[in-house]
Each structure stands twice: as structure tokens, then as C-alpha cells.
Copies of this chain bind each other. A is one copy, B any other.
Amino acid sequence: MINPVIAEVTRGDIVESRHRGAYAVVDRAGHVVAAEGGIAAAVYPRSAIKAFQCLPVIESGAADHFGFTDEEIALCCSSHNGEPEHVRVARSMLAKGGNAESLYECGAHWPYFEEARFALVRHGEPCAAVHNNCSGKHAGMLALARQLGADPHGYVGLDHPVQQAIAKRIGELCDIDLSQQPVGVDGCSVPTWAIPLKNLALAFARFSDPQNKAARRIIEAVRAHPFMVAGTGDFDTLIMEAVPRLFIKTGAEGVYCAAIPHAGLGIALKVDDGAARAAEVGIAAVLAGLDVWTPEEKAALERFRHHDLANWRRIEVGEVRGLRL
């Protein structure tokens, strides 16, 4: 099956580039409410399921035991910019869990946010694991290791109790036996299991069930602190600030997962070629097309469906837009 074009980039009067992809919108009973493309194909959700990786941190009692705040729980579900506020909260999580920064196994990279990156360079400081966009998630995983009484060393390994606890929860939510699914190593070195879009969407519908207390705590934490999930100028932060009833998370290689708790819907989208620019406008197009919003929410989502493309002199040269299918 060849997936449809879900986003395009124009320049002048023509389309310069096209992005294909697939998505599924599923309710809590597992009914496919809307879909395009091959939703049975397994895709790596990457960071789009950080909220699921955070569930055992709460359900194991680690979050309560170490006194994690809502801000910290939000950072645990984030792909953050490495801004000073993100780094501060990650360090607080480490300290509460009794974990040293040297235990991080996510690898170091420069903060995504230019101002934060340049501030380090100006002060002659190297980038560190705490600047890694996943450092909140990893601080949560290290706390989980402590709570489980496991050796924190090697916590990113497939067979480590931390990853096994996470795999169990993802499998339950997605209604799939993860041991039978392809597994890869993510950018931050933890396992990422390939899961059909349809099952990912189902999982987010289930995640949004108000009966799911740990999930409700996560959703409320993210709703209260959307900045923690991404950062200044980032799509996920901006769209959740504009539409607080939406729960959304990006993953590398063109993935988006979302939940609409008030409507009981879960959504999963993958851009075939992995482009983030297409995933952003594409998921906005899918969301804006659902009849579950107030007119104000719908108008806000519509604004995220397209944006101007400007060149180095800030001249408008084209547009990036998600398509209504």
C-alpha cells in the first residue's frame, strides 16, 4: 500500500516537496474513527510514547516516594530544548532519586534551543547528558530503577527491570505482545519497539481514560506545564498552550501520537520519510478535521496546519501545509 501525500511544501506557485504518511484515529473500544494509509504497518514510536514510559514511574510508587512534582512528571514525558529550566528540573529529579548525573546513559548533545546552546559555548562549557532532550525521561528511569531495587547501571538495556516494566505497560496499552515485535535502539539508547499505528492510536485512547489514574496524573501535569514537554517556540508546547484539552507528543522520524481525553480518542501518525515539518502540519490537519472541538479550538488547530516558509532575509517564499484528506 502506498500512503497518501499528507503534507506539502510550496515555493512560488508550485509544490516543491511532498510528504506521504499514514494515520489512525481510534476510540477506547478499538474502533477506527478515521484513518489514511497503511495503519497495520509497524512503526517505531520513538519519543512519542514517553508518557507510556513514564507510567511505571508513577504506578511503581517511585513518583510519590521521591516526591516528584507535576513539573517533574511533565519533564519525564518530554523531548526538551535543554533550556536552563529544563536542566534545573532534570537535576532536581536526579537529586530526589539519589542518582548522579554520571549514571545517565542517554549520551550528551547540545541543547536544541540556540540561545541555551550558545550560552554554554560562550561560557566554555561542554554539552552534557543533562542537556539531552531525553534527560527528564532518563531521570525518571533512574528513579524507577531505585524504586525497583535494581542496579541503576545498564538501565537502558532491553533486559533491565526498568525496560521490562516499561515494555509490559506499553504492550498492555497497545494490546500487542512486544516480545514478538521488532525492536531497535533509540537515539537515547533505550529500546524502541515497532508497533502498528492502529495499536498506538488505541493505546492513546486507553491512556486518556479517566479511570487510568496514573495517566490522568501525567495528562494533568503536562497540561499544567506544557513548556516542560518541549520548550520555547516548539510545536508541542505551543499547540498544547493553544488547545489545553489536547495531549500530544512528537517522536523522531516523523511520528506524532495524541490523545483527546474528553472525546475518548487516540491518534497516531507517521510520515514515511521521517520529516518533522510534515508530521507537525500533518497531525494538525488530522486534529482540526475531527468534530470534537469548540470553534475556538478548531480555529487554533487550523493555525498549526500551515505556516509560511521564509528565506534568510525573512522573505516569504512558500508554505508548509498539512492536507485535508
Q: How many copies does the complex hold?
A: 2
Q: State the majority secondary structure of interface residues on A.
A: loop
Interface pair A17/B272, CB less than 8 Å apart:
yes
Does A311 have its Cβ within 8 Å of any Cβ on chain B? yes
**A189 surroundings in chain B (CB, below 8 A):** 311-313, 315
Query: Whole-angstrom distance from the CB of A276 to the nearest CB of chain B?
Result: 11
Number of interface residues of A (CB under 8 A): 49
Per-position binary interface string of chain A over residues 1-41, scored 1 when its CB falls under 8 Å from any chain B CB and 0 otherwise: 01000000101111011111000000000000000000000
Interface pair A183/B9, CB less than 8 Å apart:
no
The residue of chain B having its C-beta at the shortest distance from the C-beta of A270 within the complex is B17
- Distance of A188 Cα from B275 Cα, bound (Å): 23
Does A264 have its Cβ within 8 Å of any Cβ on chain B? no
Among B106, B185, B312, contact of A132 (Cβ-Cβ < 8 Å): B312
Does A242 have its Cβ within 8 Å of any Cβ on chain B? no
Interface pair B14/A194, CB less than 8 Å apart:
yes
Among B44, B108, B273, B275, contact of A312 (Cβ-Cβ < 8 Å): B108
Interface pair A17/B254, CB less than 8 Å apart:
yes
Identify the A interface with B (CB < 8 A): 2, 9, 11-14, 16-20, 42-44, 105-109, 118, 121-122, 124, 132, 182-189, 192, 194, 253-254, 271-275, 278, 311-315, 317-318
Q: List 19 A-B contacts (CB under 8 A).
A: A11-B185, A12-B185, A14-B182, A16-B253, A17-B254, A17-B274, A18-B273, A106-B312, A107-B311, A107-B312, A107-B313, A108-B312, A122-B124, A184-B317, A188-B311, A188-B312, A273-B273, A273-B275, A275-B275
Q: Top 4 closest A-B pairs, CB basis?
A: A107-B312, A12-B184, A17-B274, A11-B184
